[in-house]
Amino acid sequence: MPRPVCPRRVAAAPPSPYFKPRGVPVSKLEETVLSVDELEALRLADLEGLYHEDAATRMNVSRATFGRIVEAARRKVAGVLVQGRALRIEGGVVEGPALRRFACISCRHQWSEPFGTGRPGACPGCGGDDFQRLDGGRCRPPARRRAGGRRRGRGRGGPGQDGHEPRGGTCE
Ligand SMILES: [Zn+2]
């Protein structure tokens, strides 16, 4: 089993999860997947112009790790632009005010979704639906806790808070 990855802190959710060349049907396009932490690395290094050291601190990773993330992200985006591919932004072990984290009980895959997108339909790792919301734990395996049937129509946990709903928070 791969070593668990500490969640990488991400300050902004992707404005759009999908980009594609104009006028070409999706079925004819090759797709590149950029993870949410790779997008955040591009934002910090290339848009905000931070030094890698500062950007690494913001994302809660080492400078070497940040260097690898941003390098991979630049290569992917360059490939998308030069080769005319579609770009899907999803996945990555991340946490942040604009994101909710989920963990699959079947395959242990972890991923994040922006607020306001509803409960994910299936685990991106195995396609199963036996997964649960994580409430911001750090570097420990997901608790094997059954989600009770409670589903309250609570607010969307909008940005501005620390982004973590109280324990037992429901998945929308
Ligand atoms: Zn799974």
pLDDT digits (tens, 9 = 90+) for 137-162: 444 444 444 545 454 444 444 443 34
Query: 3-state SS of the chain?
Result: CCCCCCCEECCCCCCCCEECCCCCCHHHCCEEEECHHHHHHHHHHHHCCCCHHHHHHHHCCCHHHHHHHHHHHHHHHHHHHHHCCEEEECCCCEECCCEEEEEECCCCCEEEEECCCCCCCCCCCCCCCCEEEECCCCCCCCCCCCCCCCCCCCCCCCECECCCCCCCCCCC
Residue 45's pLDDT is 97
101 and 172 assigned to the same domain: yes
Q: Which of 58, 89, 120 is the last residue of a domain?
A: 89
116 and 148 assigned to the same domain: yes
29 and 84 assigned to the same domain: yes
Confidence band, pLDDT 50/70/90 cuts, at residue 38: very high
Q: What is the CATH number of the domain that holds 15?
A: 1.10.10
User: 0.75 exceeded by the pTM?
Assistant: no
Domain containing residue 137: 96-172
Separation of 165 CA from ligand 1 center, angstroms? 23
Query: Domain for residue 50, yes or no?
Result: yes
Residue 140's pLDDT is 45
Separation of 129 CA from ligand 1 center, angstroms? 7
Residue 111's pLDDT is 82
